[in-house]
Amino acid sequence: MNQQEAKAATGAPATLWDRTRRLASREILETALRLFTEQGYDETTIAQIAREAGVSQRTLFRYFGTKEDLLGGGQERFGQVLADTIGEQPAEAGVWEVLRAGIAAVLALHDSREQALERFRLLHDTASLRAGWLEKRLRFQEDLLPLIEARLDAPAGGADPRARAVIATAFACLDAASMAWVAGDGKGDIMDLYDECLAAVRG
């Protein structure tokens, strides 16, 4: 947890420096998303993003460690929010319920519906981003394994295939829902599409 997040967690008021940093971060993100959408992710350079956002490349890298982070503030945050949300669910909640809560929490990280649509469109239309997402997704699934094993009363260590199957199914349904949402130009609610996908698989 960084200093800004720690202050938010304790309810401490944000300083002028914190607010300035948030505004700069948002402006860089919005600039990056606009350029990615207009000319393509692979065709857009860090130098161009920094120039149009009015910051140096060094400053940009202080906010975002990689070019990929400019799509959503860092995929690591995705994994952390997912795991934290699942871990916080009531003990009596079922595995499908806790995974849905985790996915909903991650989707809520987007600042707006339009921003979410742009990011999912870029993810599905850019081969390099899809490859990176697949690699991270597999790591996220491994991180979630102990949490889901515990709720299934399965032995730890991945020997029981049920936990892996449940987690993989949830991620596959998220992928299917987001692709359908992008194809429909953002109409409807992505979680409703997720529920439809999951119902089709479980039915």
The pLDDT tens digits for 26-49 are 889 889 989 999 999 999 999 999
**Residue 65 — very low, low, confident or very high, per pLDDT cuts 50/70/90?**
confident
Domain count, the chain: 2
One domain, residues 60 and 86: no
One domain, residues 137 and 78: yes
Domain boundary among 70, 99, 125: 70
Residue 47: how many other CB atoms lie within 10 Å: 11
Q: Quick one: tokens of 50?
A: 């920094």
One domain, residues 59 and 33: yes
Residue 20: how many other CB atoms lie within 10 Å: 11
One domain, residues 96 and 186: yes
One domain, residues 56 and 121: no
Host domain of residue 148: 74-202
Domain boundary among 70, 92, 117: 70
One domain, residues 32 and 58: yes
DSSP 69: G
One domain, residues 179 and 94: yes
Amino acid identity, residue 144?
Answer: L
One domain, residues 117 and 54: no
Long-range contacts of 168-173 (CB under 8 A, 24+ apart): 168/141, 169/198, 169/201, 170/96, 170/99, 170/100, 170/103, 170/198, 171/137, 171/140, 171/141, 172/197, 172/201, 173/197, 173/198, 173/201
CB burial class (10 A; 0-12, 13-18, 19+) of residue 119?
buried
One domain, residues 95 and 152: yes
Mean pLDDT within 106-125: 88
Domain boundary among 55, 70, 85: 70
One domain, residues 120 and 145: yes
Name the strand (E) or helix (H) holding 191.
Answer: helix 190-202
Name the strand (E) or helix (H) holding 68.
Answer: none
One domain, residues 55 and 147: no
Residues 6 or more apart from 30 whose CB is under 8 A from it? none
One domain, residues 96 and 180: yes
Q: Which residue has the higher pLDDT, 11 or 197?
A: 197
| CATH of residue 116 | 1.10.357.10
**In the chain, where do the E strands start and end?**
none
Is 1 a residue whose pLDDT tops 60?
Answer: no
Rounded to whole angstroms, the Cα distance separating 164 from 84 reads: 18
**Residue 9 — very low, low, confident or very high, per pLDDT cuts 50/70/90?**
very low
